[in-house]
Chains A and B, each alone.
Chain A
């Protein structure tokens, strides 16, 4: 709560000042940052928009951490004909989420350190420089939760969190939604489960129930009822 308050007052000056200041610090061209901010239009209140802009102007992970996340994400979900981590914007999404959910920060930063430390002691190399076989050797030890344990050890928790964020980042992206084959979010007229699906499941609509249901053909006529509440149009 306090964080939001202080951010609000910090950003109350003009956006332009914020942008140029930030670009000096990060050496990112102002137009790149502006691009990042205005990519999103999703019905924010002015306070929410300010908050989100602030998060987008911050950078939490170091470059090598982002590279490690990208390598890890590509092992969790390797590219195929449907789409890949880069198309789905998974790394940007994770960078944003650790600022939006600060509890993720230590878990992920610490987990990445653990990954590199383990690779260094085992293979004398950081994670991204290991061979794929070496990387997978490490992952095999943390990718499977102990089904009998009440609480998982930290490296398994770390991997589960990364797997969650990678998968949700992918399946909420344009390519991911297409792969999942979600068909909705567009105007249509619902007229029941397709007959072949009903047949597959051995189900059918009850005639009495159907008599209470909408007729797609006359729904544009203004409704009228008799005194008993029977619809007559």
Chain B
């Protein structure tokens, strides 16, 4: 098969259009550089009526919103999921890593929870605190100016709380707590657990005249048609195009490798056009990988050459290593006082209005790193699953479970909105023996070798999960509720979800000053190749108990500024 080669030379080729790729596109195109954006999935615009799911009712679909086609329900805006037809991945031995991919313009930013937490000063220097893992080569002070700029460009609500490790920022005002969140606040305070307004990238107030403001449908996971939530397409890539930027968008284009010249310097990428299944090559002076931590690692490992026999940028042998995800476990609580609720519209924003940042000192605990608690509940829109086990909660009231007849209608109405959930999301320790690598036995439908994973939790994470359940039980009790189910035991890893399930996977091209122990430098540039950068979560040295997106955005901006300076100095 002949490679179809374009003669145009871009200043920058950006691989991936999620948070990191979107930010690089915006900053580099605004600076006047000629940019190509490579996206493996189709074009997506949440305002397009053909693609929109926002404000749809469950009965507008034959499956009423069930998650058989999309993992988080069929109205969720992620094209892809834990498994994608024709694009397999494998696990080594009895380890299990679940890999969530979204193939569309904007990637996973179209459906995520919009929880936008800065890392704090301690998060960049974990090893200084407990001797575990590694410190970042940069600190909070290096990233702070970029967090500030991201706050103002994209918009985030929250509150300044003067907390040591949960830095203040430039927040839009928070939405008032909902009823179940007031119950949570009551229970948490009694348990001496801190609670503050949540910090989500949703516009409770206007930040410019191009994007709308939130109209409180609670459906950010469907991607907002008036652009009132942060999705990479609607908030970064479209504005870059509107601003007159030279942005060529290549959709349905699956990048297989970075190509190099005789000197070992990158000069373009090869990709498969999914529509005609032909192999193409485009040329660029700088390559910015933003395909997601594991996808970027895969592209680099598949970019083998005489000069780079272990894959591009892999002289350390560390690409794919130190893969880690946030820890996570969940629990639900039935609150009898919330039965037979008075009805009103409490959709609010898409997600929690309040949360608990980490409030304890690990020196006094048997696990090294912290977690935050997310809260869910309320009288949400019915969907597939509403009415399942309609009166199972009767057992806590000494009433009959099961049966048939119109009493079931009353049961469903009685219990509607009476269950509150808590989710713990914590920091794990990055370890060299948790990794992804190329599986020589398998290719995807485009002929590209796929990844296989090797990932095991340690007792640190298991003990943290155990602590989460103890906290949930105490708070649940203190808000007047009945905690549902038994605390998961040791045989169930204390409820710890599989690695990958929280979709915060990071660390596969980690940052450092020493080329022997890291893959990229502090500007996310490959130690081995001066014109290749990685701006997804691959460079994360550690994934704090904060969601990674805001840090991906801040670092991608910082790296893009560096690239612009290098162009100005004619170093690239």
Interface residues of A (CB under 8 A from B): 1, 4-5, 40-43, 45, 48, 51-52, 55-56, 75-78, 80, 82, 89, 92-93, 96-97, 100-101, 139, 143-145, 147, 160, 163-164, 167-174, 176-177, 179-194, 196-198, 200-201, 203, 205, 209-210, 212-215, 218-223, 225, 229-231
Contact = CB atoms under 8 A, between A and B. Distances in A.
B45 to A, nearest CB: 11
Nearest to B400: A144
Nearest to B180: A193
Contacts of A56: 62
Contacts of A100: 62-63, 66, 68-69
Given A42-B56, A43-B50, A187-B215, 14 more contacts: A43-B56, A55-B62, A92-B62, A143-B403, A169-B64, A171-B412, A182-B381, A185-B57, A192-B177, A193-B344, A193-B346, A213-B176, A214-B173, A229-B160
B59 A174 contact: yes
Given A77-B406, A172-B383, A214-B205, A42 B197 contact: no
A203 B172 contact: no
Contact of A183 (B50, B63, B206, B343): B343
Contact of B401 (A145, A167, A169, A189): A145
B171 interface: yes
A43 B348 contact: no
A184 B217 contact: yes
A102 to B, nearest CB: 10
B55 A184 contact: no
Given A167-B390, A167-B412, A220-B213, A225 B381 contact: no
A77 B205 CA distance: 45
A72 to B, nearest CB: 9
Contacts of B402: 143-145, 160
B289 to A, nearest CB: 26
Contact of A172 (B209, B213, B382): B382
Given A144-B403, A163-B390, A42 B343 contact: no
Interface string B368-412: 000000000001111111111110000100001111111011001
B178 to A, nearest CB: 7
A143 B174 contact: no
A190 B406 contact: no
A231 B42 contact: no
Contact of B55 (A139, A143, A185): A185
19 contacts: A42-B56, A56-B62, A75-B405, A76-B408, A144-B403, A160-B389, A172-B59, A182-B343, A182-B379, A182-B380, A184-B218, A185-B217, A188-B215, A201-B337, A212-B174, A214-B176, A219-B206, A220-B206, A229-B171
Contacts of B57: 174, 177, 185
Interface residues of B, number: 92
Contact of B65 (A52, A170, A172): A172
A83 B475 CA distance: 39
A180 B174 contact: no
Contact of B206 (A101, A180, A191, A221): A221
A34 B386 CA distance: 29
Contacts of B83: 1
A139 B403 CA distance: 8
Given A42-B53, A170-B387, A219 B404 contact: no
B389 A164 contact: yes
Chain A, interface SS category: loop
Contacts of B385: 168
A229 B169 contact: yes
A138 to B, nearest CB: 11
A193 B403 contact: no
B413 interface: yes
B52 interface: yes
B85 interface: yes
A49 to B, nearest CB: 10
A82 B409 CA distance: 10
B60 interface: yes
Identify which of B51, B66, B157, B401 gathers the most chain A CB atoms within 10 Å of its CB.
Answer: B66
A191 B346 CA distance: 9
B208 to A, nearest CB: 6
Interface of B: 42, 50-53, 55-66, 68-69, 74-75, 79, 83, 85-86, 152, 155, 157, 159-160, 168-179, 182-183, 186, 197, 204-209, 213, 215-218, 337, 341-349, 379-390, 395, 400-406, 408-409, 412-413, 416
A48 B69 contact: yes
Contacts of A231: 171-173, 205
Given A187-B216, A188-B216, A221-B206, A164 B388 contact: yes
B205 A221 contact: yes
Nearest to B379: A182
A231 B207 CA distance: 12
Contacts of B344: 183, 193-194, 197
Given A214-B205, A221-B205, A184 B347 contact: yes
Identify which of A42, A43, A92, A198 gathers the most chain B CB atoms within 10 Å of its CB.
Answer: A43
Nearest to A56: B62
Nearest to A226: B170
Contacts of B380: 182, 184
Q: Which 10 A-B pairs have the closest CB atoms?
A: A167-B387, A192-B176, A187-B215, A184-B347, A172-B58, A144-B402, A212-B159, A43-B53, A214-B173, A183-B345
Contacts of B183: 201, 203
Contacts of B413: 179-181
A182 B85 contact: no
A180 B123 CA distance: 45
B85 A4 contact: yes
Nearest to B68: A100
Given A43-B50, A45-B79, A168 B177 contact: no
Given A163-B390, A184-B347, A205-B176, A139 B404 contact: yes
A194 to B, nearest CB: 6
A17 B345 CA distance: 46
Contacts of A179: 409, 413
Identify which of A145, A169, A220, A223 gathers the most chain B CB atoms within 10 Å of its CB.
Answer: A223
A223 B205 contact: yes
Contacts of B182: 193, 198, 201, 203, 205
Contacts of B50: 43
Identify which of A56, A78, A205, A213 gathers the most chain B CB atoms within 10 Å of its CB.
Answer: A213
A223 B343 contact: no
Nearest to B383: A172
Contacts of A48: 69, 74
B480 to A, nearest CB: 10
Identify which of B59, B342, B400 gathers the most chain A CB atoms within 10 Å of its CB.
Answer: B59
Nearest to A179: B409
Contact of A76 (B69, B174, B404): B404
Contacts of B386: 167-168, 171-172, 180
